[in-house]
Amino acid sequence: MATTQTSHGILADSQSAAREHVVELLTRAYWMEVETVMSYIAASTNPDGVRAREIVESLEEDVDEELGHARQFAARIKELYGVVPGSLDFTAEQSYLQPPDHQTDIVHVIKGVIEAESGAIEHYNAIIERTEGVDPVTQDMVIAILRDEEGHRRLFEGYLREYEMEGLA
Ligand SMILES: [Fe+2]
Ligand SMILES: [Fe+2]
């Protein structure tokens, strides 16, 4: 008796509701990463001044890393029988990561990055909680991505501390 159905795990027929829910969570994560790529391209290009170099180089690296995250979320959406959305479904949310009035205002950029990373950390923790016992593969993937975001936030918290120490933030 040949069958193409699997009876175990998140791909099982009986799991279609859970799967749709996970795809929704992954789609939100995908958009967050795509918007972060846009914001970090701008934030790594706009700044002026010698003080900005470290931040610029750090964000240039992050652009590639966040793009990698977006691709992983897209691939997982597809694996769960979802469809990666088109650009017309996109709604921007990162008001805090718009270019500052002055391109030497690095503190604005640092704070914006910390807020973006914090938002990702919050959402990814929620995905990890909701996939517990339901979809270990998604959970495992998101745990690895969460570690990257925690690393990003920690790095930029360090930058902010430095500016605060100098009375610049
Ligand atoms: Fe990311
Ligand atoms: Fe990040």
Cα 121 to ligand 2 centroid, rounded to whole Å = 9
Task: Give the pLDDT of residue 3.
Answer: 57
Cα 43 to ligand 1 centroid, rounded to whole Å = 15
Task: Give the pLDDT of residue 5.
Answer: 72
Ligand approaching nearest to the C-alpha of 118: 2
Are 6 and 12 within 8 A, CB to CB?
yes
Are 127 and 139 within 8 A, CB to CB?
yes
Q: How far is CA 159 from the centre of its chain?
A: 20
User: Which tokens hold the place of 124?
Assistant: 């990814």
- Kindly report the average pLDDT of the chain as a whole number: 96
Cα 58 to ligand 2 centroid, rounded to whole Å = 11
139-167 tens-digit pLDDT: 999 999 999 999 999 999 999 999 999 98
Could you say which DSSP state residue 9 is in? S
Cα 17 to ligand 2 centroid, rounded to whole Å = 29
pTM of the full structure? 0.94
Neighbours of ion ligand 1 (CB under 5 A): 33, 66, 69
At residue 1, does pLDDT exceed 80?
Answer: no
User: Which tokens hold the place of 126?
Assistant: 């929620």
Instruction: Enumerate residues 6+ apart whose C-beta is below 8 A from 23.
Output: 77, 80, 81, 82
Cα 20 to ligand 2 centroid, rounded to whole Å = 25
Cα 60 to ligand 1 centroid, rounded to whole Å = 13
Spatial separation of the C-alpha atoms in residues 22 and 137, rounded to whole Å: 11
